[in-house]
A and B are shown apart, each in its own frame.
Chain A
Amino acid sequence: MTVRNPVPLLLVGLMLLAAWTLPLLSHAPNRLLSGRGIQLATLLHGPRLLLLLPAVPLLAAPWLPPRRGCCVLLASAASLWLAALTGLAGAEAARLAGGADTLARTSLGGGYWALFILGALLANDALRRLGGAGGRLALAQLALYLPLLWLLLSGRLEALSLLKEYANHRDSFDEALGRHLQLVGLTLLPAGVGGAALGLWAFCRPRARGVLFAALNIVQTVPSLALFGLLIAPLAALGRLLPGSGLAGIGLPPALLALTLYGLLPMARSTLAGLQQIPDGVLEAARGMGLSAGQRWRRVELPLALPVLISGLRVTAIQAVGLAQLAALIGAGGFGAIMFQGLSGSALDLVLLGVIPVVALAVAVDALFKLLLSLLEVGPR
């Protein structure tokens, strides 16, 4: 038996280690007491052993030939495994909770998270081996989590402490989601347009490049927290000067301003890179044939730079999803608000409730932009 692929071997080894040594769940009579660890092995008995079925192909992954069928099998097994693992945790939590009105809390342990992440990595590895266009890959990566999503929506996980926190904070969660999307969306527009304009400007004026990117780099190196803080004073002053403008030192405007400033660098850089990769001959021919500056931009430069430009927008968007988390500190809301509330109250589940959606959002945004890029590449390059 030869090992065909070292990556799954490492992942499978780590999975076994995590399953043996780390607790899958942690159970406490109430949220003030520290929990007691529950190992995966103790939960597996009777019909529940069937849940191990999807894990069999995963354990065999290092020895499977890199054929199409095997990759599909591995990816679907990993997808089912993630759901099975989560379902098992949910069922056990429900059993431990007993009655409806109980203070007992069952939270996901280190073993669960390790097994989950390793399983997701195995699935991604299999999908990558399948190859195919970027768009199909992005869709398949999202599809991996469909069984999990079904489980979540079916209500089978409600006994888990994370979901209990969600039930308790449903209103603020929905508000945070809306605000977070608002922060990202409202950042993308000015950062995209402004960054593209700066990139175009730098392309037309090579001498301005040094100054522009030096300035943008400085913005990027200012720690985000410091930038939020730095903007408080000038914006508060501006708000006093222009009453009724809605400007203030804290809240949405300074957060948007800071996020936009951060977004300018990746956007300007990728616009410049996108324009620079257009062959000189194409630009000279466009000029020599009598296309005006506007026609050159619309018909030649923009379409040819678009794929790189979209990549820049993707980086900007993912960066904004992450940075928006900190915007809660200056009262702009978003999932950061939930996270910081959890941190101040030492409520780990509440922290996770503020963090997991952001991770999911980043994954979704990434897949969305990859899909968009692949749609652009259907046309010939």
Chain B
Amino acid sequence: MIEFSQVSKTFDGQRAVEALDLVIPQGELAVLIGTSGSGKSTTLKMINRLVEYDSGTLRFAGEDVRHFRPETLRRRMGYAIQSIGLFPHWTVEQNIATVPQLLNWPKPRIRDRVTELLALLHLEPEQYRGRFPHQLSGGQQQRVGVARALAADPDVLLMDEPFGALDPVTRAALQDELRRIHALSGKTIVLVTHDIDEALGLAQRIVLLERGRIVQQGSPLELLTRPASDAVRDFIGRSDIGIKLLALERVAARARQGEAAAGEPIAAAATLREALSAFVTRGADRLPVIDAQGRPAGTLHFADLLPPAP
């Protein structure tokens, strides 16, 4: 869907991105991560030509992005940013309808689309469509921001630290939302963040950038188990790599079927990291597991947290 080949960008003599090669296939949720100044935002903005690259080629849907008019290109890509940037003088409905209106969708279709999106993001449509941005909480504003980015059913969703300004609880809720939307729509999503936990929790592919170059790319599991260098190990948090690995797997994968145990149960959908926390706080070495319907689904032993022997 998006192919960088040998793409470079220089700002006032400063290399921002250097000879970048990166392929993001259709339907993938890719996360660009790195410290500030690593070139991750620049890389994202080159995709919708908010930043023009100096050399190399960047293809979108098989075609050089420079062959598109910037406006046409941008209307085919949803764009959500950290400061949200809702238009303060427009209602939630008008904000979400921005791109569909630019694309001259008929009015009833726009209205239906707004209803659909508000429902998708758990905002009661009739209650929220007429409100103005300043009447919403930060989390609600970002929900509207995401809905606006999705409005015209774009091929690609570009997100520049979309949840960076939110409190941890709201951020976690919106990350869940994004995972759900991605699973539901199968859209290609490119997300920029500096939060490694956000990257590990959301990404199918993590692209770790440093000083304009890709240091390592791969699935969260690959990054945690086979970090390419000490720098990568440092970035993903040397001392709690084990904890992060536990966060990637679900209780259901390790539970022993057919066994029963006493005590307060843990959900099969919980991560092993949550299970570890439960072991420690309850002082138990085995936990009963229940599935989403509340039926018993086996038992998890403390020793099951260790990866199975190869």
A147 CB-CB contact with B under 8 Å: no
CA distance A295 to B73 in the complex (A): 16
Q: A290 to B132, Cβ gap below 8 A? A: no
On chain A, the residues within 8 Å of B73 by CB distance are: 290
- CB-CB under 8 A for A286 and B71, given A291-B102, A295-B102, A380-B134: no
Query: Per-position contact with A for B36-64: 1 when CB-CB < 8 Å, else 0?
Result: 00000000000010100000000000000
Residues of B within 8 A of A295 (CB): 102
Residues of B with C-beta under 8 A to A292: 71
Closest to A300 in B: B87
B147 contacts A by Cβ under 8 Å = no
B83 touches A286 (CB 8 A): no
| A279: Cβ under 8 A from any B Cβ | yes
Determine if A288 and B79 form an interchain contact, defined as CB atoms under 8 angstroms apart. Answer: yes
Closest to B84 in A: A281
A287 at the B interface (CB under 8 A): yes
Closest-CB distance, B235 to chain A (whole angstroms) = 27
Cβ 8 A contact of A289, one of B84, B89, B99 = B99
A363 to B72, CA, bound (A): 50
Q: How far is the CA of A299 from the CA of B85 in the complex (A)?
A: 14
* Chain B min CB distance to A375 (Å): 15
Which B68-87 residues sit within 8 Å CB-CB of chain A? 70-75, 79, 81-87
A281 near B85 with CB under 8 A, answer yes
One of B50, B75, B132, B148 near A284 (C-beta < 8 A):
B50
Q: Are A281 and B89 in contact (CB under 8 A)?
A: no
Known A-B contacts A281-B81, A295-B102; A379 and B74 likewise in contact (beta carbons under 8 Å) = no
* A290 in contact with B75 (CB, 8 Å): yes
Interface pair A282/B88, CB less than 8 Å apart: yes
Q: With the chains together, A295 CA to B74 CA distance in Å?
A: 14
Pick the residue among A286, A287, A381 that contacts B89 (CB under 8 A). A381
Q: Do A281 and B75 have beta carbons less than 8 Å apart?
A: no
Q: How far is the CA of A290 from the CA of B99 in the complex (A)?
A: 8
Q: Is A303 an interface residue (CB 8 A)?
A: yes
Q: Which of B48, B86, B89 contacts A288 (CB 8 A)?
A: B48
Could you tell me if A289 and B74 are in contact, using CB atoms closer than 8 angstroms?
yes
Report how far A217 CA is from B85 CA in the complex, Å. Answer: 34
From B89, B98, B148, contact of A303 by CB (8 A): B89
B132 & A282 in contact (Cβ 8 Å cutoff) = no
Say yes or no: A285 contacts B102, CB within 8 Å.
Answer: no
Tell me if B86 and A285 are in contact (CB < 8 A). yes
Q: Is the interface on chain B under 10, 10 to 19, 20 to 34, or 35 or more residues?
A: 20 to 34
Q: Are A290 and B50 in contact (CB under 8 A)?
A: no
| Given contact pairs A287-B50, A290-B75, A304-B88, A279 touches B83 in the complex (Cβ within 8 A) | yes
A280 within 8 A of B: yes
CA distance A240 to B75 in the complex (A): 56
Number of chain A residues close to chain B: CB under 8 A: 22
Contact B74 A285 (CB under 8 A): no
Q: Are A281 and B83 in contact (CB under 8 A)?
A: yes
Known: A290-B72, A380-B134, A381-B88. Contact between A285 and B81, CB under 8 A? yes
A284 to B48, CA, bound (A): 12
Question: How far apart are A282's CB and chain B's nearest CB, in angstroms?
Answer: 5
B26 to chain A, nearest CB (A): 21
Please indicate the chain B residues that have their CB under 8 angstroms from the CB of A290 in the complex.
70-75, 99, 102
Which residues of chain B come closer than 8 Å to A379, judged between CB atoms?
Answer: 89
Is A279 within 8 A of B89, CB to CB? no
Chain B residue with the shortest CB-CB distance to A304: B89
Chain B residue, CB-CB nearest to A379: B89
Chain A residues positioned under 8 Å from B98 (CB to CB): 289, 291
CB of B297 to closest CB in A, whole Å: 45
Q: Mark A269-301, 1 if CB is under 8 A from B, else 0.
A: 000000000011111111111111001000110
The residue from A282, A288, A299, A303 contacting B50, defined by CB atoms under 8 A apart: A288
Q: Kindly identify which residue among A280, A289, A291, A304 contacts B83, using a CB–CB cutoff of 8 Å.
A: A280
Return chain B residues, CB-CB under 8 Å to A304: 87-89
For B145, what are the chain A residues with a Cβ–Cβ distance below 8 Å? 285
A291 to B152, CA, bound (A): 14
Distance in angstroms from B97 CB to nearest chain A CB is 11
Chain B residues with Cβ below 8 Å from A282 are 85-88
Task: Judge whether B85 and A284 touch: CB under 8 Å.
Answer: yes
A280-B81 Cα distance, complex, nearest whole Å: 11
* Pick from A285, A303, A381: contact of B85, CB under 8 Å: A285
CA distance A283 to B73 in the complex (A): 18
Q: Known contacts A289-B75, A290-B70, A380-B132: does B81 contact A284 (CB below 8 Å)?
A: yes
Min CB distance B267 to A, Å, is 38
Identify which of A280, A288, A304 gathers the most chain B CB atoms within 10 Å of its CB: A288
Contacts of A289 in B (CB 8 A): 74-75, 79, 98-99, 102, 148
Q: How far is the CA of A295 from the CA of B70 in the complex (A)?
A: 14
Q: Mark B228-270, 1 if CB is under 8 A from A, else 0.
A: 0000000000000000000000000000000000000000000
CB distance from A268 to the nearest CB of B (A): 23
**Nearest CB in chain B: distance from A250 CB, A:** 46
Say whether, besides A290-B102, A291-B71, A285 and B132 are in contact (CB < 8 Å): no
B99 / chain A contacts, CB cutoff of 8 Å: 289-290
**A-B CB contact pairs (8 Å), 15 listed:** A282-B85, A282-B88, A284-B83, A285-B84, A285-B145, A288-B74, A289-B148, A290-B102, A291-B71, A291-B102, A304-B89, A380-B89, A380-B132, A380-B134, A381-B88
